[in-house]
Amino acid sequence: MTRLPLRHPGVIAMIILGFMLLPLSTDMYLASLPALRRYFDIGVPQAQLTLSVFIVAFALSQLAYGPLSDRFGRRPLLLGGIVIYVTATLGCMSAPSIEWLIIARFFQAMGACASTVIGRAIIRDIYGGAGAARTLGYVLAGTSMAPIFGPMLGGLLEAAFGWRANFAALFAVGVVLLVSSALLLEESNTHRDPSATQARQLLANYLRLLRSRRFTGFMLCFACGYCAIFTWLSMSSFVLIGALGISPQRFGVLFGLSVPGYLLGTLIAARLASRLGVDRLVGIGSLVSAIAGCLMAGLALAGVQHLAALLLPLALLLCGTGIINPAATAGAIAPFPKIAGTASALLGFAQMATGAAYGFIAAQFHDGTSLAMACAIGLASLGSLAAYLLLVRRSI
């Protein structure tokens, strides 16, 4: 079978499906977290660890995939990662203990990571700096369908078949992505760097990135935005199902209803990237997110325990994040075409590592209400705005 030209819409479709592995793997089983507590007879922190360990492994794996893809090419690393994902998902589906599930989730994240970090680098390879923000906007708009329908499907599967059914669905998605990528995807890295994985050169590349005010500023905006999102991902089921008495099926629907805000943000970024530029887009997105996060925290501090006090600010927060993510990604990676994989890896590592640590710390303050979650989201959104004002805007 003939492989597709790199600018073929089918390549973008595969990248979108690859990007979906992360939100599907984190969102589909959110409604099952209370069920996991009962099944394995564990507490909230242990149940939440199945999510946190996924994010930690995802973060660490990016540091390997990025430089390796700069040296050996995007395609072999992508295919190897998907094989790991499919195999580990089978392990999740058959887990006899919480320890088994946590270990399988670690390897599942290692596999899922390839499609995200390499997908960003492929887009930079194909479209360059100018077109990357626009293309990433459309890719993330397509990816946003996963958080909309994933929790809904996960809630239905949980109610009908139990938590293992969610991993069976993820296994099917992984197989589809593996087959399509193996048959249709062409190599995009035309300037491989033989020294990309040498320890001295790798350290020099990372230091070069971190010394860049623009890269660091965009990276922190990106990471703080994910801290807010991950706090919602890791704590929302305990607040909505545990504190507000929402059923798992309804939880999935309500979770999905907030995601169109993210879709709107990514479409705004895609349409306005050429006109406004990535700097202004990140500024706008950070301001919108900060307003929404402070509103959610303020309502919680005032003692308002209602769905609307969470979901309405959340939709606005996700809109701001949807603007930030494609613009900050393009702005961070564009100046470094020869180490695009390494830049993508460091960007993603910072996002996932800070998100996992931040969400885990926030969970320790959970008191059965929305207070800890809302305040943590508000602080993270302010962090994104501060990074823009102190680093990105001053580097213009």
pLDDT per residue over 233-252, tens digit each?
778 888 888 778 888 778 76
3 domain-assigned: no
CA-to-CA distance for 369 and 293, rounded, in angstroms?
Answer: 17
What's the CATH code of the domain at 103? 1.20.1250.20
30 domain-assigned: yes
| Dihedral of alpha carbons 222, 228, 229, 234, sign | positive
Between 35 and 19, whose confidence is greater? 19
4 domain-assigned: no
38 domain-assigned: yes
18 domain-assigned: yes
Mean pLDDT over each residue of the chain, to the nearest integer? 87
**Could you give the count of Cα atoms lying within 13 Å of 11 in the half-sphere of its Cβ?**
22
Q: Check: CB of residue 358 under 8 Å from CB of residue 327.
A: no
CA-to-CA distance for 159 and 165, rounded, in angstroms?
Answer: 10
pTM of the shown model:
0.77
Quick one: pLDDT at residue 317? 95
1 domain-assigned: no
Q: Residue 365 has which token pair? A: 């303050």
Is the pLDDT at 91 greater than 90? The verdict is: yes
pLDDT per residue over 201-242, tens digit each?
888 988 999 999 999 999 999 999 999 988 987 788 888 887
Domain region containing 163? 9-185+196-395
**Could you give the count of Cα atoms lying within 13 Å of 255 in the half-sphere of its Cβ?**
38
Model confidence at 395, pLDDT cuts 50, 70, 90, reads: low
| Dihedral of alpha carbons 68, 73, 78, 84, sign | negative
CA-to-CA distance for 339 and 342, rounded, in angstroms?
Answer: 5
pLDDT per residue over 287-306, tens digit each?
999 999 999 999 999 988 88
Mean pLDDT of 55-72: 86
Quick one: pLDDT at residue 396? 58
71 domain-assigned: yes
According to DSSP, residue 186 is labeled: P
Mean pLDDT of 91-100: 92
Between 377 and 40, whose confidence is greater? 377
Model confidence at 129, pLDDT cuts 50, 70, 90, reads: low
33 domain-assigned: yes
Q: How many domains does the chain contain in total?
A: 1
Model confidence at 281, pLDDT cuts 50, 70, 90, reads: very high
pLDDT per residue over 131-161, tens digit each?
777 888 888 888 877 777 777 788 888 888 8
CA-to-CA distance for 363 and 372, rounded, in angstroms?
Answer: 8
